[in-house]
Amino acid sequence: MVKQKTKKKFLLVVILLVTVISSLGFLATFMGVSTIRHDHKVRGNDIRVAAVGDNITYGFGVVNWYEKNYPITLQNLLGTGYNVKNFGYSGRTATTTGDYPYVDEKIYQKSLTYLPNIVVIMFGTNDSKVQNWKTKEEFKEQYRKLLLSYIQLESKPVVYLCTPATPYYVIGKTEGPMKFNIQKDKVDVVVETGKELAEELDLMVIDINEVTKNHRQWFNKDGIHPNADGAKAIANAVYDAIAKG
């Protein structure tokens, strides 16, 4: 009897641990802070596509993340001959003065050593936060440095600069900072600045801000993070740009 009770307790502990670990893994992936990524092996002649960015690139809040985040959707659209890797990291900023700079993360270094042929980069939402925003000039200068780190890679990638998605207020609110302290007027400045940088650096622009405008239904309740439909719309816009060359 004692042995049976001990076995039952042991099994219950194992089941509990597995449940907790699985739940933590799901939560980490859902929040975009997980190291779990799609690992499509690069074949010799594959065109390597680096999807670089923050929460929106990673797929924070996208239900069925493994199949519905925008980089994996883009992979499915591009098909054989392309290798798309998701280098998005939630909460990260283009600026080094932001609370969580992208360049401080290992994922940034991995995106460089991947030696992409194409870079699709989208930042600015987190830079617009109350605690992060300083001036347009500072944002522009620091975003320029980040862009140049990809432009100057030996693989000489084609760089597509995406404007950040349109942010929306939560239901019942119409003014002031949005969810997560995001400032809509500063997102507008980010969009303008991104287009200026693209012109100065001879980059192609994918206007995700325009694509997602007037489509509140493509976002989660927080109004900031696209849902699966929003991720699909972003992937389609990126695919169209790459297909046109």
Domain ranges within the chain, ordered by starting residue: 1-30, 38-244
So what's the pLDDT on residue 40?
A: 65
* CATH topology (fold) of 38-244: Rossmann fold (3.40.50)
Type and span of the H or E element at 49: strand 47-53
Q: What is the pLDDT of residues 76-93, one digit of tens each?
A: 999 999 999 999 999 999
Q: Which positions ≥6 away from 17 have C-beta within 8 Å?
A: none
- Which two tokens mark 223? 């109004």
Residue 97 has a pLDDT of 97
59 alpha carbon, distance to own chain's centre: 6
Question: Are 49 and 84 spatial neighbours (Cβ–Cβ below 8 Å)?
Answer: yes
Contact 178, 133 (CB under 8 A): no
Averaged pLDDT, groups of 10, the chain, 245 residues long:
53 44 43 53 89 97 93 97 97 98 98 98 98 98 98 98 98 92 97 98 98 98 97 98 94
| Structure token digits, residue 89 | 């990291």
CA atoms within 13 A on the CB side of 105: 23
Sequence-distant (≥ 6) Cβ neighbours of residue 149 within 8 angstroms: 103, 112
pLDDT at 37: 56
CA dihedral 96, 102, 104, 109 (to 10 degrees): -130
According to the model, what pLDDT value does residue 169 have? Answer: 96
CA atoms in the 13 A half-sphere facing the CB of 143:
34
> What confidence score (pLDDT) does residue 1 get?
55
* pTM, rounded to two decimals: 0.85
If one counts every other C-beta atom within 10 angstroms of the C-beta of residue 95, the result is 25
Give the model's pLDDT for residue 6: 54
